[in-house]
Structure 1
Amino acid sequence: MSLPMGNISGISLLLLVVSVFLLASPGVQGGKILVFPVDGSHWVNMNLLIQNLHARGHEVTVVRSATSWYIKEKAPHYHSITVTLPEAISIEDEDFFVKFLEKMLAIQKEGASFVAFVQFYWEMLPALSKMHQQSSMLAVEMFENKTLMQSLRDSQFDVALLDPGLPVGVLVAHELQLPTVYNVRWITSGEAHFVAAPSPISYVPTSGNAATDKMTYLQRVNNIIHYLLNVCFDRCVVCPLYDKLVERYFGPGVDFYHLLQGADIWLMRVDFVFEFPRPTMPNIVYIGGFQCKPSEPLSSELEEFVQSSGEHGIILMSLGTLVKGLPVDITSEIAAAFAQIPQKVIWRHVGERPDNVGNNTLLVKWMPQNDLLGHPKIKAFVAHGGTNGIYESIYHGVPIIGIPLLFDQFENILRVEARGAAKSVDATKLTRQNFLETIQEVLHNPSYRANMKRLSALHRDKPMHPLDTALFWIEFVMRHKGASHLCTESYKMSWYAYHSVDVICFLLAVMLMLTAIVVGSIRFVCFRLCRRSKTKQE
């Protein structure tokens, strides 16, 4: 049966249009991605990457434990592999952080004494050690499950996307011979730059030390002490746990730390608008604030509450995903301070409700934080100092009132404070009076908002959104089966070779030898001249 010429021309035209569209599209052939995330707030970041990778046609498989807190077994944008562990990882226990915070606050109340310093590490180090010990069992359960490992090999993944805060995925990726991409800021020894790039501790603050890049002599001493403690803990407590696994499953020729340092691409959740300037490497890609996006309209109920603030506006308060709430004696002081201001307050609060909550304060168990931070009536953000909240504040230009509680939160708030866009309050010394004074200073001193607006302009002024940058480099590694041309192998050098100690010693030896020869020659000549002079005199 023949078709009319008009129909043939129409079909040809349609095929031509479709072909041109497909050729012009920057689409990427779908690949297979194996993901090892870390639970809690880290998962919020990883999940966003997974959603966007799925939307671009990639097949994503997530490895999770049976007790995962945030990482669900079933989701529309990924498949999951659930591993049952003998003991749940501490970070997956909601009560762990509540109890841990209580201990840390009790220690902080003692001030900056040597005893408090020792108590802090006495509590912190065993907790982290136990977390890594529990996490390492994930590798054991996977490697001992021959059926599972064969299934992973048969899946022929293109890349492993890992959060190396708990580096089990590093071992599995090595076994499967997969190129690796890290979604990272923290690693076993602290901030990831200290593993991936040169980190002069004369001006680069080390993990756990809340300092700027302009340190006094005593601050540099303190920085070195923190650095040595981090290295000792990492090499003496954490690494041996994984070294045993490496020796057990890969043999003596493989070094765990070399595996950890050997990632193809480091997607660093850092922006130098926030981070202090420091050395970097070609395979480190900066994606700080990749989760930030324009705000969306609020629900009618929430919008009505916000609009009721009138010209005074609103203040937002959230302590992140890990901590349910502060002790009631602290929250009562916060509530009393909030009750004295004309602004309306939206407070994400899950713990025990304070008795003195003012009529201007709305307590909620969940809130659209990004949408509220982007609302025209927002005046300030009371935050604990988690990086997600800080980057959202920077993106929307909202000044911060910081109440740092745990881990890197003290350093994070200090970084924004150093830029004049935040002011912090010590949670252990918080009273309704000093908290109220801090709120009023941030609200009424225009420099805080102006400085944060400047940071926001710098953060947004990029050729590509950080999320698009992250997706590009993940797909880059998939296309090219790695990125070895960007990776230095300096980490495989011995410490004395890396710092050229052997070369310096050799050159010093040569110089000493030459000096000895010259001095010896001069002495010999002088001795001969003296003898000849004596002979003539005789």
Structure 2
Amino acid sequence: MKVIIEELHSRGHHVSVMRSSDSWYIKETSPLYTSITLDMESGFDEDFITLMVARLLEIQREEKSAWARFKMEMEQAQKTSEIHEKTCKLIEHIFENKDLMQSLRDAKYDLVLTDPVTPSGVMLAHYLSLPLVFNVRWTSHNEGHFLIAPSPLSYVPMLGSELSDKMSFLERLLNILIFGFSEFQVTQYVTPHYVGLVEKYFGPDVDYFSLFQAADLWLMRVDFVFEFPRPTMPNVIYMGGFQCKPAKPLPQHLEEFVQSSGEHGVIIMSLGTLIGKLPHDLTDQIAAAFAKLPQKVIWRHTGDRPATLGNNTLLVDWMPQNDLLGHPKIKAFVAHGGTNGVQEAIYHGVPIVGLPLIFDQRDNLLKIEVRGAAKIIDIFTMNQDIFLQSIQEVLHEPSYRMNMQRLSRLHRDQPMKPLDQALFWIEFVMRHKGAAHLRTESYRMPWYSYHSVDVTLFLVGVVLLILGTFAALIKCLCSKLCLRTKSKHD
């Protein structure tokens, strides 16, 4: 979100950012925006998320089975439910603060820009009757496409299914079962929190999901170099890789370390913001494998120093990831598979050794692996030898780099940069007070009309009526013929 706010600010727009008191990333003071701080918890604070992630990793390490996967999904759903419970209180606090709501009305904003992973911004936009733009990958209840666009489960894999768009019969069956389980989780752990809230502030005829579907514009943080081909809608704008930029010069100490690698080059490793450290036994295996490589390694690691760390490995608390990926000496990227990191690797053409851990990471990496540009390792069954062999495969098999560079060329070959396209459409919504002409009105239809169940039943009824009438006529004619034959016989 910060990337878009920076660009809006540079174009002269005045931005107000509503944040909770426990906000993790969003600072209260900034030259880019005016802050509106709510004296309430959002539930999405650093301590809560860190503990949740640690618990999910612990469940996965206990055993590799369908039961362990089920336990992990239920744990994740319950923790998410806790976040939604706090989000509900936050939304109610906003709406009941009359002074705050009046100040928001008086400001005469042009639109609301929000990430719909929680519905706070969604509901606020509708309450203030403002145009609504999403910066989206996920909504509060599923991957964004599943709420706005037709999603045939025969070739559109569910996130978390680890399937591609080419599915066998059994895989299609699994995809449908996963969809059903996902819908069950939403009805049990998400929507119950908001039903009463929606009825209280929007009336009994308003459906929770329709608030999302009524958004003017969906800025999707993927593109079809990354995403499997699938149906989409006119008000979905793809801006995958919008945060990617040409590499800037590295800080001097990093540049010196990179240059010291000589002809062998450098590997970088980062598991993202949520996972700064892994269990000791895993980090020791990883460090020991790195120590056997001729390449230099830069590893973002916030835990204890591994006992097996080699002289070729530099541990850092933070790294300029985009700038490192764009350096010509970078040979491979060891990553967990977060969307931002994957998009940056595509942009700079760096092949990936994937260590997926939680959420959508395995699916993100799968999409790159099926295109021949990544190698996925199961971190919970991995040992030093498996990790070392996987890195060497990606380093020495030319197809990985060639395939990723091909994806990079495809991604960059666009008439507009993704960020410029996103800003054009945001300003388009501002200029025209919305984009209703791009938005389908299907969300206003009841489910039986949307799926033409009523029409199908009507047509089946007509056919049955015709067939019944025809059968009755045949029966009547047969009866008359039988009577005539009998009378002649008499």
For residue 380 of structure 2, give the secondary structure of its aligned residue in structure 1: helix
State the partner residue of 1:528. Answer: 480
Deviations 1:287-334 (A, max 9, x none): 000011111111221111101100000001011111221111111110
Candidates 10, 18, 24, aligned match of 1:69:
24
What amino acid sits opposite 2:14 in the alignment? E
Equivalent residue in structure 2 for 1:256, among 178, 199, 208:
208
Q: 140-149 or 460-469: which moved more?
A: 140-149
Q: Is the 8 A contact 1:98 1:325 kept in 2?
A: no
1:519 corresponds to 2:487: no
One-letter amino acid matched to 2:10: A
Q: Per-residue deviation at 1:489?
A: 1.2
1:199 positional shift: 0.6
The 3-state SS of whatever aligns with 1:187 is: coil
Matched, 1:429 2:385: no
Which blocks of at least 5 consecutive residues in structure 1 are unaligned? 1-45
Query: Is the 1:207–1:226 contact (alpha carbons within 8 Å) kept by the matching residues of 2?
Result: no
Equivalenced residues, count:
490
Whether the 8 Å contact between 2:276 and 2:300 is mirrored in structure 1 is: no
Contact 2:291/2:313 (<8 A) preserved: yes
Give the aligned partner of residue 42 of structure 2: 89
Q: How does 1:20-59 map to 2 (within 5 A)?
A: 46-59=1-14
CA offset digits 1:435-456 (Å, max 9, x no partner): 0000000001111001101100
Question: 1:206-245 alignment to 2 at 5 Å?
Answer: 206-245=158-197
Answer whether contact 1:397 1:455 (CA < 8 A) is retained: yes
Q: Choose the corresponding residue for 1:122, options 54, 62, 74.
A: 74
Distance 1:214 1:481 in 2: 41
Counterparts of 1:243 and 1:257 in 2: how far apart (Å)? 10
2:254 counterpart SS class: helix
Local SS of the residue matching 1:58: coil
The letter of the residue matching 1:250 is F
Q: Distance in 1 between matches of 2:131 and 2:21?
A: 26
Letter of the structure 2 residue corresponding to residue 287 of structure 1 = M
TM-score normalised to structure 1 length: 0.89
Corresponding residue of 1:296: 248
Following the alignment from structure 2 to structure 1, what is the Cα–Cα distance between the partners of residues 457 and 75?
A: 42
Q: State TM-score, norm by structure 2.
A: 0.98
Determine whether 1:500 maps to 2:449: no
Confirm whether residue 78 of structure 1 aligns to residue 37 of structure 2.
Answer: no
Q: Is the CA contact (8 Å cut-off) linking 1:315 and 1:380 kept in structure 2? A: yes
Pairwise mapping of residues 22-421 of structure 1 onto structure 2 (< 5 A)?
46-85=1-40, 88-93=41-46, 95-421=47-373
Measured at CA, do residues 522 and 110 of structure 1 come closer, stay the same or move farther in structure 2, by a change above 3 Å? farther
Distance of 2:304 and 2:93 partners within structure 1: 39
Judge conservation of contact 1:264–1:486 (CA < 8 Å) in 2: yes
Q: Could you tell me how far apart the structure 1 residues matched to 2:93 and 2:461 are?
A: 53
Contact 2:14 2:33 in 1 (8 A): yes
Percent identity between the two aligned chains: 58
Q: What letter matches 1:79 in structure 2?
A: T
Checking the alignment, whether the CA contact within 8 Å between 2:291 and 2:310 is kept in structure 1 is yes
Shift in Å, 1:110: 4.8
8 Å contact from structure 1 (residues 98, 324) kept in 2: no
Alignment partners' CA distance in 2, 1:366 and 1:114: 36
What's the counterpart of residue 483 of structure 1?
Answer: 435
Distance of 1:304 and 1:210 partners within structure 2: 40
Q: Distance in 1 between matches of 2:474 and 2:24?
A: 79
SS of match in other structure, 1:382 = strand
Task: Give the C-alpha shift of residue 350 in structure 1.
Answer: 1.0
Aligned residues: CA RMSD: 1.3
Q: Does the CA contact (< 8 Å) of 1:207 and 1:227 recur in 2?
A: no
- What amino acid does structure 1 have at the position aligned with 2:23? S
Q: In 1, are the aligned partners of 2:271 and 2:335 still within 8 Å (CA)?
A: yes
Report the Cα distance in structure 1 between the residues aligned to 2:475 and 2:202, rounded to whole angstroms.
Answer: 61
For residue 367 of structure 1, report the CA deviation from its aligned partner: 1.0
Give the Cα–Cα distance (whole angstroms) in 2 for the partners of residues 496 and 116 of structure 1.
37
Give me the whole-angstrom Cα distance separating, in 1, the residues matched to 2:458 and 2:35: 56
Give, in whole Å, the separation in 1 of the partners of 2:396 and 2:43.
Answer: 42
Please tell me the residue identity of whatever aligns with 2:69. Answer: F
User: 1:528 deviation in Å?
Assistant: 1.5
